[in-house]
Amino acid sequence: MQNGEIEHIWKLLNSVPDPEIPVISIVELGVVREIKKTDNYINILITPTYSGCPAVKTFTDDIKECLKMNGFSNFKIKLTYDPPWTTDWMSSQTKQKLLDYGISPPSNQTVCPQCKSTNSILVSEFGATACKSLYKCKDCLEPFEHFKCI
Partner 1 sequence: MSLLNYTLRIGDSSLILAQRLAEWCTNGPTLEEDIALTNISLDLFGQANGFLEYAATLDGVKTADDFAFKRNENQYYNFLITEIENGHFGDTIIRQFLFSAYLYLFFQKLATSKDEVLSALAAKSLKEIKYHLKHCSSWVIRLGDGTNESNEKIQSSINKIWEYTGELFELDQIEKDLVKKEIAVNREALKFEWDQIINTTLNQAKLMRPKDQVMKTGGSKGIHTKHLELLLKEMQFIPRKYPDAKW
**20 contacts: CB under 8 Å, gap ≥ 6:** 55, 129
Per CB under 8 A, 106 contacts partner 1: no
Query: CA-based angle 128:57:110, to the nearest 5?
Result: 30
**Smallest separation (angstroms) from partner 1 to the CB of 130:** 6
Per CB under 8 A, 150 contacts partner 1: yes
97 versus 110: smaller Cβ distance to partner 1: 110
Per CB under 8 A, 82 contacts partner 1: yes
Per CB under 8 A, 88 contacts partner 1: no
Task: Report the candidate in 8, 71, 75 with the shortest Cα–Cα distance to residue 46.
Answer: 75
Per CB under 8 A, 123 contacts partner 1: yes
Per CB under 8 A, 84 contacts partner 1: yes
